[in-house]
Structure 1
Amino acid sequence: MPEEDLVEVKFRLYDGSDIGPFRVAPATTVANLKERIIADWPKDNKVTPKVANDVKIISAGKVLENSRTAGQCRMTFGELQKGVITMHAVVQPTVAKTKTVSRRSQVSPPCS
């Protein structure tokens, strides 16, 4: 694959730091990008994703589905098609258990 066909991406984290930039094939899926983010995530951050589903990737204001590709995220501005695509990587841990509501919070206060 020619070098000019690759898509250059980087991910901005909640603390303003970046992962990347790195070059990927246009057919690389968002699911693959999430795996790369997990592998390169700074180990000293307070918030760290445990699995790829903990990461949400946002590009152009939209949360990207796992089936989208890096090539589909490339935006064109007139003749400018090159350059690094900056996406936001947000950690949203998956919840294994649902929170239970205590009985005390379900009881209505007495009427006056």
Structure 2
Amino acid sequence: MPEEDLVDIKFRLYDGSDIGPFRYSSASTIDMLKQRIVSDWPKGKTVVPKAVNEVKLISSGKILENNKTVGQCKAPFGDIPGGVIIMHVVVQPTLAKTKTEKKIDEPRKIVCSCSIL
């Protein structure tokens, strides 16, 4: 693999700490990066992703799509030889889980009001 095809990427977490930098091929997908983030997530953080679909990567102000490659997401003005690309990591828990927990905590009250005239 040619040296120029490799990209150094560091992942910035919500509290300002970092994961990485790691070296990736330009052909690596964003989904592969997210899998690495979930597996290398630091211990002791208050927010922890449980699955890859809870992680969003932001680079140059854009949310990156899972099927895109690192080469497609690189900003042309960010190509500094020997530089490290910083991607911001946002953890967003799935909504389905929070909705089901809410339904269990708040049972529905059945209210009936009839009027006979």
Aligned to 1:43: 43
Distance in 2 (alpha carbons) for counterparts of 1:31 and 1:23: 15
Distance in 2 (alpha carbons) for counterparts of 1:102 and 1:65: 38
Aligned to 1:8: 8
Residue-by-residue CA offset, 1:48-76 (whole Å, 9 max, x unaligned): 00000010001111111101111112222
Number of equivalenced pairs: 103
Aligned to 1:33: 33
For residues 74-85 of structure 1, the aligned pairs below 5 Å read 74-77=74-77, 80-82=79-81, 83-85=83-85
Give the match's secondary structure for 1:32: helix
What 5-or-longer segments of structure 1 have no aligned partner? 105-112
* Amino acid corresponding to residue 2 of structure 1 in structure 2: P
Q: What is the RMSD of the two structures over their aligned residues, measured on CA atoms? A: 2.0
More helix by share: 2
TM-score, with normalisation over the residues of structure 2? 0.78
Offset at residue 103 of structure 1 (A):
6.8
* Amino acid corresponding to residue 27 of structure 2 in structure 1: A
Residue-by-residue CA offset, 1:13-49 (whole Å, 9 max, x unaligned): 0000001111111111111100000011101101000
Offset at residue 102 of structure 1 (A):
7.7
Aligned to 2:71: 71
Aligned to 2:61: 61
Distance in 2 (alpha carbons) for counterparts of 1:39 and 1:102: 37
Distance in 1 (alpha carbons) for counterparts of 2:29 and 2:51: 16
2:92 is the counterpart of 1:92: yes
What 5-or-longer segments of structure 2 have no aligned partner? 110-117
- Which has more radius of gyration? 2
* Amino acid corresponding to residue 38 of structure 1 in structure 2: V
Distance in 1 (alpha carbons) for counterparts of 2:25 and 2:70: 7
Offset at residue 81 of structure 1 (A):
3.9
